[in-house]
Amino acid sequence: MIFLKLKIDNFYMFKDTEFDFTYPKKIANSTIEGEFLTDFPKINYKKVCILMGANASGKTSLGKTMCFINNYLAGRDVKSFSNSIGDKKKSASAEIIYITPQSKEIHKLLIKFNINRLIFEQHTVCKLKKTSNLKATLLAVENSTPYFTYDENNKHGIENPGFKSVAHSLGQILCEQSSIWNYKYNDFNDTSKLKTYKAGSPFLEGILKSFDNSILSVNKISESEGDSYIVKFANNDEVIIEDGTILNHKRLSRGTIESIEVADFLNHIISSDSGIFFLDEKMIYSHSEIEISILNLIVEKLKANSQFFYTTHNYDILAMNLPSHSYTFMKKNEFVEVLHPEKLGYTKNDRSLLGYVKNNAFGTLPDTSKIDNFFYH
């Protein structure tokens, strides 16, 4: 599937917060290939979305909300996400407009929860038309009559759906069964255990050596019953990775450990025909040049009908040769606010855009005044 628009209310610190993952018209000589739906070249979408903002501005929360939506569409129980409802006395909702490329359809889904269960679900779907541009396609699904509604007056024989889709339970197809998504979050719970690790990535050795030039080789341990690798260093030190666990992880820097997960993430992009891929600050310990090189590689390897989301604090990423619509800025006062530069007149990603960011035109720089006050006490 492909996200086109997302509106979130009362999850985390989102209050009627809207994200737009479309852009109005194609960019001449764009550095990103295929920012449109295969077989429907008039339907543009953001294939690469760089999310930037200060700490606690909602970047990771957005990724977790999108992952929750993917799981919901697949018919899974999303009860654990009820803990993310902001005001527990009120309902929380998400409105998603998305495309399923294989079925060639555009969907609009509106779901509402309270802390106990799903209370509303409404699904609208339209077939895509090759003659229709993005604007006409969005209008079609917005103006169409919903084909499925679950509420207090339309329970379909299900009194308490819990936190699962009623439509899916009744056999409705909300998303393609082959849909692939991969979300990696910046999680510090256990530095020795890799998340969703899949060994054998063709990028593993090259990326590890880029992060630590004292590494000589990375080889699979052939006699091991599990999926194990040995990392050898110039000083004869060795590190074993056994089924995703780094047995002596203190020998590796935090950045090098995270690079293993980045290699795994790249492997998922390469091995998938299409999908949604979300990488959350997995290169905060990396040198800017390495971060930019890996991002360029991800953009290069991204398949058609795919989307890549990346969160970062590094403003050097603005120097990448990406369209201005590839960047989304997020800031939070009481609630999260989203700013799309292409909608604010920044039609080109040039030095002026970087200058506006550094001058805090988007309000994404952290407020250091409380720290600065310590200098005077």
Q: What pLDDT band is residue 196 in, cutting at 50, 70 and 90?
A: very low
Q: What pLDDT band is residue 376 in, cutting at 50, 70 and 90?
A: low
Between 207 and 137, residue with greater pLDDT: 137
Mean pLDDT, to the nearest integer, of 61-73? 95
pLDDT in the model for residue 191:
52
Q: Are 78 and 69 in contact (CB under 8 A)?
A: no
Q: What pLDDT band is residue 108 in, cutting at 50, 70 and 90?
A: very high
- What distances in angstroms separate CA 116 from CA 47, 152, 163, 371, one per listed residue? 36, 15, 8, 41
Mean pLDDT, to the nearest integer, of 309-318? 90
Q: What pLDDT band is residue 206 in, cutting at 50, 70 and 90?
A: confident
pLDDT in the model for residue 146:
96
DSSP code of residue 151: B
CA gap 172, 157 in Å, rounded: 15
pLDDT in the model for residue 187:
61
What's the token pair of residue 5? Answer: 């628009």
Question: Per-residue pLDDT tens for 283-301?
Answer: 887 888 999 999 999 999 9
In the chain, what are the domains? 1-180+272-377 (3.40.50.300), 187-255 (no CATH)
- What distances in angstroms separate CA 375 from CA 36, 256, 370, one per listed residue? 52, 35, 10
Q: What pLDDT band is residue 362 in, cutting at 50, 70 and 90?
A: confident
CA gap 108, 235 in Å, rounded: 58
**The overall pTM is greater than 0.95:** no
Q: Is the pLDDT of residue 368 over 80?
A: no
Question: Per-residue pLDDT tens for 244-279?
Answer: 788 888 888 888 888 888 888 888 898 888 999 999
Q: Is the pLDDT of residue 209 over 50?
A: yes
